[in-house]
Structure 1
Amino acid sequence: MMDKLMIVEDSLENVDGGFAFLGRLPYYRGLGLSMIEDIQITIDGEVIPRENVRFTVRGKTYTLDEMETVYDDRWNFGEKALITALKPGGLAAGPHKLEMAVRNRVSYLPFVPTTKCVKDLALAA
């Protein structure tokens, strides 16, 4: 159910060096950033390489590799994080299909869940 709320409507924008949107954690509790194993972004069928994804929460920006060792920061339930994809030139104005998949580690689960959200968003001109 929370997968439908992962990508925040009307948040897609071009930024210096790529594009960004707001995303929510697909889990009913907050998690330490080291427990977020991966955030995969796909735009219009193009997978953004892991090394080109940035995660920003409460003014602090991390690469996904950096997040693996961040033990003193969290992504809280319902909190909107800025997810940035480095993509030269950003995106053209108009409709885009955005996919976000988050894989997180939860100590009491015997598996590593990956939750995915797909939304059609429009980028204003």
Structure 2
Amino acid sequence: MLERSLIQSTGFRNFGPVGARDGFEVRLRIPNYHGTRLSLFDGVDVTVDGEKFPYEQNRLRIRDEVYGLAELREAVDKRWGMFEWASVLVLKTGGLTPGVHRVAVTARVRYCYFPPEMHVFPVNAERIATIVMS
């Protein structure tokens, strides 16, 4: 079961080999009132403890498939279902230090029924999350 909050309380962790972490991930629920095509999801800005990681560089993992921004925009036949979670993968050499962090995200959602000049709608969330020692 997913939590109501955009940023889920589980799934905040470093990834990559122990001792040489590649980055960290933040688990999200869909920032929408229904499922959507991945091509209408335009990435996620992530900020941790004031350090910003822009959506153009972050990747989205859903159902063990990883998408960069260009792949998301082309994924017209793939969907993010309402009851599925996804992880934003953020590249940061060494990952995050173990401990408590302030995490903020801005998910960028597009709606096909709005004109292009009003096309991207930001959905913001913030929470305190903890990286544990592995």
| Counterpart for residue 116 of structure 1 | 124
| Counterpart for residue 64 of structure 1 | 69
**TM-score (ref. length: structure 2):** 0.83
Residue 90 of structure 1: which of 92, 95, 98 is its match? 95
Note the alpha carbon deviations across 1:27-55, whole angstroms, 9 max, x for none. 11111111012311111111113343111
| Counterpart for residue 49 of structure 1 | 54
1:19 Cα deviation from its structure 2 partner: 0.5
Question: Quick check: 1:26 aligned with 2:35?
Answer: no
Question: Quick check: 1:10 aligned with 2:15?
Answer: no
| Structure 1 runs not aligned, ≥5 long | none
Q: Which runs of 4+ in 1 moved over 6 A?
A: none
1:50 aligns to what SS in structure 2?
Answer: coil
**TM-score (ref. length: structure 1):** 0.89
**Identical pairs, percent:** 31
| Structure with the greater alpha carbon radius of gyration | 2
Aligned residues, how many?
Answer: 122
